Amino acid sequence: MQLNDKIYIAGHRGMVGGAILRCLKQKGFTNIIYKTSTALDLRNQQQVDEFFEEEKPGYVFVAAAKVGGIVANNTYRADFLYDNLMMESNIIHAAHKNNVTKLMFLGSSCIYPKLAPQPLKEEYLLTGLLEATNEPYAIAKIAGIKLCEAYRDQYGCNFISVMPTNLYGIGDNYHPQNSHVLPALIRKVHQAKENNSPKVIVWGTGNPRREFMFADDLADACVYLMENYNEKDFVNIGVGTDISIRELAELIKEIIGYEGTFVFDTTQPDGTPQKLMDVSKLHSLGWQHSTGLKEGIKQAYKDFLKREVVEG
């Protein structure tokens, strides 16, 4: 990519899209376009077609998605499947029709089978049953990968896919019902400290292991791969190490300075026992993450505090 190439970020107001936007600006890219969801409904094919015909972007990052934690995924199953299928299909097809030079589709580690061997290698895709609670979202993301592969096979499009691990960071979602585990714990622990609550209830046993990556590291990896990777096969993006939910809760407790205790509600679901990405392919391509988990959570908590003051 040249610094003046026209780049479209779908989902620029989300945590991932926002991080990609910051990364591109920091690297000196000047011709970046984006639209809010009120100005451009990515589920509407006509609107997306008209946008691409008018703007003619050269490079596209597909970071737009309907996302959420276990509760949201399991409650709004039709919405998660329909919205994500429509958004990615419209963008990928419009990119093909308008001769986009290169497109990157961002998936999710939930595409892998629930009981796949650990760490998760790229070749494990479609080798077993998915985790039931977020199956609709996972199926939509798998469809996005296959769409990119199919447009490459049939039309020669340089469309690539990347699979990020669990993400957190600046601009995360802290909604009480719809957030992922790390931001949910930040919110719960912060509120418990503010209210002098003696305990915090955490869903599940605390035993599942998860890998967490700072969103700005993901953005750097995405820009690196956009500039250096042109193959059909998708690439895992992660840090290559994981932590139990119990250990994560204790780390957040330490960072926030909470002195109470955790109570694990074992009547609630754990989800997949472990999700650790094999990132050997990414490392072989010349990229590794730079933000440690403790430092990243500190930055995320600072952002949470700023937003709490602003949003009240």
For 271-283, write each residue's pLDDT tens digit.
Answer: 778 889 999 999 9
- Is the pLDDT at 287 greater than 80? The verdict is yes
What is the pLDDT, as a whole number, of residue 169? 97
**Dihedral over alpha carbons 130, 120, 299, 22 (to 10 degrees):** -90
Q: Which pLDDT band holds residue 309 (cuts at 50, 70, 90)? A: low
Counting beta carbons within 10 angstroms of the beta carbon of residue 156, is it exposed (0 to 12), middle (13 to 18) or buried (19 or more)?
A: exposed
Where are the domains positioned within the chain?
7-172+211-240+275-292
More confident residue, 156 or 75: 156
- Is the pLDDT at 310 greater than 70? The verdict is no
What is the pLDDT, as a whole number, of residue 200? 97
What is the pLDDT, as a whole number, of residue 311? 58
Residue of 8, 59, 137, 174 with catalytic role:
137
What is the pLDDT, as a whole number, of residue 51? 98
286-292 own/partner pairs: CB under 8 Å, 24+ apart: 286/224, 286/228, 287/220, 287/221, 287/224, 287/225, 289/213, 289/214, 289/217, 289/221, 289/238, 289/239, 290/217, 290/220, 291/214, 291/216, 291/217
- Is the pLDDT at 52 greater than 70? The verdict is yes
Counting beta carbons within 10 angstroms of the beta carbon of residue 154, is it exposed (0 to 12), middle (13 to 18) or buried (19 or more)?
A: exposed
Query: What does the pLDDT average to over 64-88?
Result: 87
Express each pLDDT in 246-261 by its tens digit. Answer: 999 999 999 999 999 9
Counting beta carbons within 10 angstroms of the beta carbon of residue 118, is it exposed (0 to 12), middle (13 to 18) or buried (19 or more)?
A: middle
What is the pLDDT, as a whole number, of residue 273? 82
More confident residue, 132 or 50: 50
Percent of the chain with pLDDT over 90: 86
What is the pLDDT, as a whole number, of residue 164? 96
Q: Is 76 a catalytic residue?
A: no
Express each pLDDT in 188-238 by its tens digit. Answer: 999 999 999 999 999 899 999 999 999 999 999 999 999 999 999 999 999
Express each pLDDT in 141-165 by its tens digit. Answer: 999 999 999 999 999 999 999 999 9
Select the CATH number that applies to the domain covering 7-172+211-240+275-292 from these four: 3.40.50.720, 3.30.390.50, 3.20.20.190, 3.30.1330.10. Answer: 3.40.50.720
Query: What does the pLDDT average to over 29-33?
Result: 98
Quote the DSSP letter at residue 166.
E
Evaluate whether 42 touches 91 at the Cβ level (below 8 Å): yes
Query: What does the pLDDT average to over 80-93?
Result: 97
* Across 237-241, 254-258, 305-309, least confident range: 305-309
What is the pLDDT, as a whole number, of residue 271? 76
Query: What does the pLDDT average to over 287-295?
Result: 98
More confident residue, 201 or 67: 201
Tokens of 186: 């930040």
Distance CA 107, CA 125 (A): 12
Tokens of 297: 């959570």
